[in-house]
Chain A
């Protein structure tokens, strides 16, 4: 079958091979069909088979959208292979469509020649109407540029679970397991871990466990028996060569939670997490609420402002205060961030970005809160900002946020996004001992030269002492009003405001002295073009640069973790290339910051469709930027291309 071997993301060339290096599969169905669960379990089995992988869950904002509707479609895409995988894949090779709406909304993305697996049981008159099909697409030849495997999964599932006496509705719920069984057969996967999982999940209802296992086995058996008849074939994706060690899969939200726990331990502090439910940030609060034994207190506040205010209160009282939200909630927290900056208390603010402005696209991804993170407060309110580039990277970045917060007595914003938060990838489990601790010392005695208390005296980093209420004899007052540079008493004098504004700025800028110099992630330290990214564009940029370089193009990749302050060599590094291209899932925010900081002609590559970049889009932009002499091998869909525009006047 040509489709599976014809160059998915990590493929080295276009030659046909019976064992493809990478495959992209998309499961799509009604939001009630359990597609996220199917995808998640397929991901686990893929990880257990030793493949590298990246996933992209794409689900509607509605919890239970009306059945069968186009906006109720929930999809899960996974890219897996025997080489390094950094993105969820540009175009699927296989689409599993559980109903007409899922087919309609997803088939356009399927690679030409790709395989459609469709459940004919759901292609009835009612569902076709809901999906706005006049004629059944499975029968009118409209899908002929793809391979079609259509059969009645619903009926086959009902047949498989018949012995368990479930009601029709409950029986049909096993459809996703039937489909998963077929997928496991297609890619030669072991069913046992999944059977164990089902037994554990339905421990209290063994009949449901058995029914689901029967459906799984039936789907698997169907693959075996149908192999000779149609386009269905079994593929074996070899394990990826990876560093020896213990691995697990991790989502960004999980890795952030674990990183915060690790960061608090490295600081030798209990952690206080104040949060308010918001998509896609809630998962962090859910995760931490189950980790009490690690010295975590979680507090579901009445609103976003109370969430950050309680975290600042906890920091004031001597714990590591953490809060988390997404764009609209971060906006509400702005004033309190200013107070944390003014009172110089440590705080970590996690921002899981989503499409905006306002409510925007709650379940879709975007990187459009960079201005808000760097500039979005009243007054001169400098605050360190760091960004994670992938689910597993979140762990280290969360630790780094904790370190900066306590070492510099400052709030720190950690930028992640909806894509990273929900996506999973294999993660080599780190050894906690390998991280350098940064234990906190609280002030216990008066620190002034004349035996007085100076809560705003500064150390060599520019940080003030952390004084816990309850410490005998160190009573003092802090607040949001401008203060005397030493005592912290109210002082609005011109000199005080000048000194304190300068001190706050210098302190945050000084964070640059504690971070690594910027490295080139791929390519050379100078040349014709550098593609500069931050956050979750890492995967597609890295792979696009890799492909372009393989074609002989002079292009390198620099990915920035420390957004504010930036690594001290970044300006010089970027100036050593002729051109700078900045792909972002916004209208060019980091590009503006780079231009401002370094007076360089950074060019934007923007995408604001709520979807991550594809590798092809970035590769096409690299070719365009370099003058279009790349050999014309890029097969980019013009309708998917992002707009390349400069906002230079």
Chain B
């Protein structure tokens, strides 16, 4: 059946649009993410018949309805568990999981942790808008301290969770970060798709109704240059430019074993001690996901990428091994153990 689909499939952005009316608020960041995904899918030769979008509940989780592929809009927070069942039943399916900060970090935090530590081969897109949108603006697990909302009229006192730090702590082997309108989002999505295993992508998303411009500090034109650190494997960690107040870099402070911002004079980043990004360096990845915005720029792009065998490959491989040379004869199975035969009234033990 899939003979044809194994060959690279040619599609265009249009092929990935459904006939369903998109129901996000006008101006919502989700539109930009949807377009980025629909632009990426043809570029990775994805086959709509073999692609499944799975989601939980929330604004982000309406996503599957708008992608012309197979889609399963499940229940709040549990999409990772559904996706795990799908991948174990049919590992050939290309599964994308769409979740939000409430869905994936609050009610479904448990499942997010387990799909990551198991390393199920899916792409997890967590749209982080730092607010509950669909329930009308309550603070979320990623909302900053002091967020005023209907449930926190005096300002929220909860400390926010860091999705990428959570993911790394859960054992994720791929961590990336981007934002809705970024031109680099398709490249990040491609890298996530290329990674075999659970790929975790946090996408900052602008909720124009309940949390407008929350990320303006680093996404707005004019500040982006100084406040975004785009990471590229093998390249020095540089940001800023001469016209925006100087080129800067991230260096390692050897006394405190922590990161620091250094000025790069005359393009000589080596002299300034700027680190070269190595996506396999887990220790630096920990520092990058914890790097506080303000004193530091926002780390974006592929932060960590070091593949390990996927869960379904290992588990199903183990099952396959267990099946080898074994006969699946049901009659034999039923008659297993200590049996006896009754002929007439006498019983003869076997």
Question: Which residue numbers of A lie inside 8 Å of B, CB to CB?
Answer: 44, 47-50, 190, 193, 239, 241-249, 258, 261-262, 265, 270, 272, 274, 291-295, 297, 299, 301-303, 305-307, 309-319, 321, 335-336, 338-339, 343, 429-433, 444, 468-481, 489-490
Contact = CB atoms under 8 A, between A and B. Distances in A.
A242 B72 CA distance: 52
In this complex, the interface size class of chain B, counting residues with CB under 8 Å from chain A, is: 35 or more
Contacts of A249: 337-338
Contact of A481 (B73, B84, B328, B331): B73
Contacts of B48: 475
B339 interface: yes
A270 B88 CA distance: 11
B65 A246 contact: no
Given A314-B89, A471-B49, 9 more contacts: A245-B341, A297-B89, A306-B80, A316-B86, A317-B90, A429-B335, A429-B339, A478-B71, A479-B64
Interface string B81-121: 11111101110110000000000000000110110000000
B81 to A, nearest CB: 4
B120 to A, nearest CB: 10
A456 to B, nearest CB: 14
A317 B86 contact: yes
Nearest to B73: A479
A315 B219 CA distance: 42
Contact of B65 (A301, A335, A477): A477
B345 interface: yes
A631 B66 CA distance: 75
Interface of B: 1-2, 4-5, 18, 20, 48-50, 52, 54, 57, 64-65, 68-76, 78, 80-86, 88-90, 92-93, 110-111, 113-114, 315-316, 319, 322-323, 326-328, 330-331, 333-347, 349
A247 B85 contact: no
User: Binding site of A, secondary structure by majority: helix, strand, loop or mixed?
Assistant: mixed
Contacts of B315: 297, 299
A325 to B, nearest CB: 14
Of all A-B residue pairs in the complex, the 8 with the closest CB atoms, nearest first, are: A313-B85, A50-B347, A479-B73, A310-B85, A309-B81, A477-B71, A469-B70, A317-B89
Contacts, number: 221
14 contacts: A261-B333, A270-B89, A293-B326, A310-B84, A310-B85, A316-B82, A318-B89, A339-B75, A430-B334, A469-B52, A469-B90, A472-B49, A477-B70, A477-B73
A618 B334 CA distance: 34
A301 B73 contact: no
Contacts of A343: 72
A246 B110 contact: no
B73 A306 contact: no
B330 A432 contact: yes
A260 to B, nearest CB: 12
A10 to B, nearest CB: 16
Contacts of B335: 246, 248, 429
Nearest to B318: A292
A473 B49 contact: yes
A470 B86 contact: no
A48 B338 contact: yes
Contact of B4 (A244, A262, A472): A472
A309 to B, nearest CB: 4
A272 B73 contact: no
B5 A258 contact: no
Given A309-B75, A478-B73, A246 B90 contact: no
Contacts of A338: 75
A625 B86 CA distance: 54
Contacts of B337: 248-249
A262 B72 contact: no
A294 B336 CA distance: 14
Contacts of B81: 301-302, 305-307, 309-310, 313
A429 B315 CA distance: 32
A293 B73 contact: no
Contacts of B113: 302
Contacts of B65: 477, 479, 489-490
Contacts of B319: 292, 297
A444 B1 CA distance: 10
Contacts of A310: 81-82, 84-85, 88
A48 B340 contact: yes
A239 B347 contact: yes
A444 B326 CA distance: 32
B116 to A, nearest CB: 11
Nearest to B82: A313
Contacts of B73: 477-481
B98 to A, nearest CB: 12
Contacts of A479: 64-65, 71-74
B111 A306 contact: yes
Contact of B340 (A50, A293, A312, A472): A50
B126 to A, nearest CB: 18
Nearest to A338: B75
Given A50-B347, A321-B85, A478-B73, A246 B333 contact: no
A240 to B, nearest CB: 8
A293 B336 CA distance: 15
B75 A429 contact: no
B20 A489 contact: yes
Nearest to A82: B345
Contacts of A432: 330-331, 334
A444 B50 CA distance: 14
Contact of A318 (B64, B90, B341, B342): B90
Given A335-B75, A469-B93, A470-B93, A317 B85 contact: yes
